[in-house]
Structures are given as C-alpha cells and as structure tokens.
Amino acid sequence: MQFRNWFEAAVFDRAILQDTDILKALRLPKQKLQVIGRGSFATVYQHPTEKNKVIKVTKDKNDIRNLIKAQSLKSPNIVKLHPIAGNFSVGVGNLYLVVADKVEGRSFPYTSDIIATLIGGKSGMENAAKASVKIGQIGLSPFRDKVLNRLGLDDERERSKLSSLLLTVSHLEKRGIEFFDFTDNVIDTGDHHVIIDMGL
C-alpha cells in the first residue's frame, strides 16, 4: 500500500502524507484515516472524530489561500473551514492541511462552458474568465431559458441556486479571487451549489 501511495503521489503529483503526519499536525490521536476523495492536487480524508468534517491535504497553495480568503463572505456557496490551532491551515513540508465541512450532494450539473454561456447570454462565449465580469444574476431571456430547459434545470429553485452561486463568484472576484473552473469544484447539495476547491 505504501508503494501505491508513493507511486500515485509521484505520477499524479497528488498530496499524500502518512496518516501519522496528518494526525500529528492536527493534534489528533494516532489512528487510521480513510481516504474519501482524490483530485489532481489534493487528497481528502474523513475526519476521524467528527463525521461532518473532512481533512484536505494539498500542494496547491493558491487553493488554500483562496479558500481562507473566501471565508470572510460567510456564504453558503463556499465550503466552511474550521480553525486548526488558531489558524485555518497547517503546513507540513510542502503540503497544506485544512479541516472543512463535509459537503455531500451530487456533481455540479453544468460545465464551465455552459456557465460561461449562461452568463454571457449567448452561445460562442470564449471562456468563463471573459464572461465572469458580467456575473451578477441570471436574468430571464429566451436563450438562457432554452439552455436551462435543455438541461432539465429550468425551474425557479434552480435559477435561485445558480444566481446565488454566481453572485458569490462575483464577490470573490472583488476580493481578487478568480474562479472559473466550475466543473469539478462545485457540489450541488440540493439547497445550494457549494464551491469546494479554488485551486488551479
């Protein structure tokens, strides 16, 4: 198992630490940690003593910096971080650890391209970064209705959730945080679309 972890860390550049290093950094008793998710730059563990929290270990300093900076919004659209010894993150070597709420739900139903199209109000938007300056709310338009209808997401509740998320992204931009990779970094909890990663 240790070779597999080393191999994945080397090949995929994932953030992998020994359980003992993570637990020591978080001042928790020695025990086995359960991996519940892996991404390009991070590994997510179930918190061993609090089932509604996770431990994220990542090499992506920007992700951690942005998540910490975004906490000032106190938005239901941003995963909540919890202090570790008075700080939101702990460094271990070249890795960073955070404790966050466990966000459960389904995959975000939109690609970044669809979000850019909805924001721009027409097809052919080059990317979400260009469209993001127009974020604020998704108004009614025949084109937007057609896109949402095609996705089966054209109800008032979904419009409200999506508008709330995009307004939060607008507030992030005002704080110098660019966020345009919606595809794998947002979870639909049913009540909200929640940003769980603000990295590369």
Q: Is the pLDDT of residue 100 over 60?
A: yes
Total count of domains within the chain: 2
| Domain-embedded: residue 198 | no
pLDDT at 134: 40
What pLDDT shows up at residue 129?
41
Mean pLDDT of the chain: 81
Position 97 confidence tier, pLDDT thresholds 50, 70, 90: very high
Token couple for 50: 């609090």
Model confidence over 126-169: pLDDT tens digits?
Answer: 444 444 434 344 555 677 777 778 887 778 888 889 888 988 98
**Distance (Å, whole) CA 183 – CA 113:** 9
Answer yes or no: do 96 and 6 share one domain: yes
Residues 75 and 132 in one domain: no
pLDDT at 187: 95
Task: Judge if 42 and 120 occupy the same domain.
Answer: no
In a domain, 88, yes or no: yes
Asked if residue 192 belongs to a domain, the reply is no
Q: Which of 52, 83, 101 is the last residue of a domain?
A: 101
Same domain flag for 60 and 135: no
pLDDT: which is higher, 126 or 31 = 31
Last residue of a domain, one of 80, 101, 122: 101
Looking at the fold, whether 50 and 80 belong to one and the same domain comes out as: yes
**For the chain, percent helix, then strand, then coil, each to nearest 5?**
40, 20, 40
- % of the chain beyond a pLDDT of 70: 80
Asked, for residue 27, whether it belongs to a domain, the answer is yes
Q: Both tokens of residue 197? A: 């990663």
Same domain? For 134 and 95 the reply is no
- The whole-number pLDDT of residue 6 equals 56
The reply to whether 130 and 171 lie within a common domain is: yes
**Residues with Cβ < 8 Å from 19, sequence gap 6 or more?**
30, 31, 32, 33
Residue scoring higher pLDDT (183 or 195): 195
Greatest mean pLDDT among 3-7, 22-26, 144-148: 22-26
73 and 132 both lie in a single domain = no
End-to-end CA distance of the chain: 28
92, 25 Cβ separation under 8 angstroms: yes
Amino acid occupying residue 59: K
In a domain, 188, yes or no: no
Give the residue, 67 or 158, on which the prediction is more confident. Answer: 67
71 confidence band (pLDDT: 50, 70, 90): very high
Does 140 reside within a domain? yes
Q: Tell me if 41 is assigned to some domain.
A: yes
Domain that holds residue 71: 2-101
* In contact, 49 and 23? CB cutoff 8 Å: no
